[in-house]
Amino acid sequence: MRNICVIGVGYVGLVTGTCFADLGNRVVALDINEERIANLKQGILPIYEPGLEEMVKRNVAAGRLDFTTSYAEALRGADFAFIAVGTPEGVDGEADLQYVRAAAESIAENMTQPLIIVNKSTVPVGTGDWVADIVRAKQPRPIAFSVVSCPEFLAEGSALSDFMNPARIVLGSTDREAANQVADLHLSLRAPIVVTDLRTAEMIKYASNAFLATKISFINEIANICEALGADVKEVAAGMGYDPRIGKHFLNAGLGWGGSCFPKDVRALAYMATVQGKHPQLLQSVMDINKYQRRQAVLKTREMLGGLKGKTIGLFGLAFKPNTDDMRDAPSVEIARALQAEGALVKGYDPVAMHAAERMMPGVAMCASAYEVAEGADAVIVCTEWNEFKQLDLARIKQSMRQPVLVDGRNLYDAKRMQDLGFQYRGMGRG
Ligand code: NAD
Ligand code: UGA
């Protein structure tokens, strides 16, 4: 049992804190957002993540998990302080480190005993050293501390199982003893542990996200070629994926990658490269292809309807991917905006992201179900491949639409079946 303070109760912080508590540690999770903490104290979660609510309640009841807005309270008796605050995109694609800086300063001002500061936020290479400098400069009196980089690899929607069954734990530090202590916290997860210096660990995180984004953009480029040549990218990806050197994951062609991480992290890596005088050509193409994928949904719909002005377009799914309520950089937002700019009326439905979506999609009519979205629509675009869209009564959907046009941005449906049902159907890369 160790005493852990987690700073930030967003997707990463709340999952990390709750899972460490579930492993038997004593965790205090802190946030400067008073509403989030007040709600958490009443069992109301700020985010949707499958299984998390039950785990939070169980660990609070067991006395292993607490919430606070006070750094002094959170750091009292803590052996570790995990930084899990946001690092959004700043000017020119550079990561904005204002929240990391504020967290480091507050740690320095409130720590009262030796501490291992573990950085879980995705931060530019060199940030670990910078955090150490901030803490040293801001401490009212010197107290020993170490900084360890421990990048997070969880994906939203499967965060609990990703935490409990990690593919690897990466730890970076110049202080081997501190890294060993953080390794000990993870030993029961039985994952490979990679120990490196700080900068290398920070780079492993960016390189991993950039590689996954590259894989998706690669298959999207292949999809576009498939479409022109009459091949089906779904089958192509399946055929490629059996080769263990290629692997079957992250080869789903469609509207491309969105969310709170790939877009900002690929841009931040490209920015770091550019500042060093390098030309990140591959990363640039990866981003360009991704932008084009979103545009394609609009182009296809326009082409099939012969124009968008005055047409009603429905969106199935709004979140950036299924099993999350996260709307950050969701393709649906850009697609809705482009449709509206051409004079279309847009309506949409998402199983869990409606609340967040309402704020980010002004003018989009929010519906209670996919069936309501289809009602009277000239076309439907599938933006997110939620399970509940997989087995819809498609005959009913077609019946209720003004025109049976369906653009399948996530290749959810069988093209032949859709044609048999009488839809004018277009997927992504299915020639
Ligand atoms: P988030 O926006 O969901 O949550 C961040 C939280 O930090 C917010 O609740 C905010 O109020 C709080 N915060 C901001 N400044 C603070 C301060 N000074 N002190 C205390 N709390 C403060 O962010 P997230 O999605 O959890 O991402 C956090 C970091 O983890 C980012 O660097 C991100 O790139 C990385 N990451 C995210 C994921 C993911 O799936 N979301 C996965 C891996 C890594
Ligand atoms: C991603 C990584 O998978 C995590 O390992 C990482 O920790 C996290 O970013 C992060 O750094 O925040 P996440 O963004 O939650 O996790 O979701 P993914 O499942 O990776 O999907 C990202 C985007 O790629 C989604 O928009 C999804 O629709 C898209 N995608 C994914 C595809 O278009 N095709 C695929 O084959 C896979």
Q: What is the pTM of this model?
A: 0.96
Q: Which two tokens stand for residue 204?
A: 């492993």
pLDDT bucket at 74, cuts 50 / 70 / 90: very high
Question: Are 8 and 104 within 8 A, CB to CB?
Answer: no
**Residue to substitute in 257, 412, 428 for testing ligand 2 pocket (most ligand atoms within 8 angstroms of CB):** 257
**Distance of alpha carbon 339 from alpha carbon 361, whole angstroms:** 12
* φ, ψ of residue 316 in degrees (nearest 5): -90, 110
Query: From ligand 1's centre to the CA of 7, what distance in Å?
Result: 9
Q: Which amino acid is at 430?
A: R
**Residue to substitute in 31, 40, 83 for testing ligand 1 pocket (most ligand atoms within 8 angstroms of CB):** 31
Q: Which of 145, 294, 148 is nearest to 217 (CA)?
A: 294
**Distance of alpha carbon 52 from alpha carbon 159, whole angstroms:** 9
Tens of pLDDT, residue by residue over 238-258, are: 999 999 999 999 999 999 999
Ligand number nearest CA of 158 is: 2
Catalytic residue among 19, 261, 367, 383, which?
Answer: 261
Instruction: Please give the pLDDT value at position 431.
Output: 81
Residue by residue, DSSP assigns 161-172 as HHHHS-S-EEEE
Would you call 261 a catalytic residue per the annotation?
yes
Instruction: Please give the pLDDT value at position 32.
Output: 98
Instruction: Please give the pLDDT value at position 424.
Output: 97
Tens of pLDDT, residue by residue over 116-154, are: 999 999 999 999 999 999 999 999 999 999 999 999 999
Q: Which two tokens stand for residue 21?
A: 């508590």
The ligand 1 atom at the shortest distance from the C-alpha of residue 14 is 26
Question: Are 120 and 16 within 8 A, CB to CB?
Answer: yes
Mean pLDDT value of segment 303-326: 97
Instruction: Please give the pLDDT value at position 299.
Output: 97
- Compute the mean pLDDT over every residue in the chain, rounded to the nearest whole number: 97
Lookup result for tokens 């009277």: 376
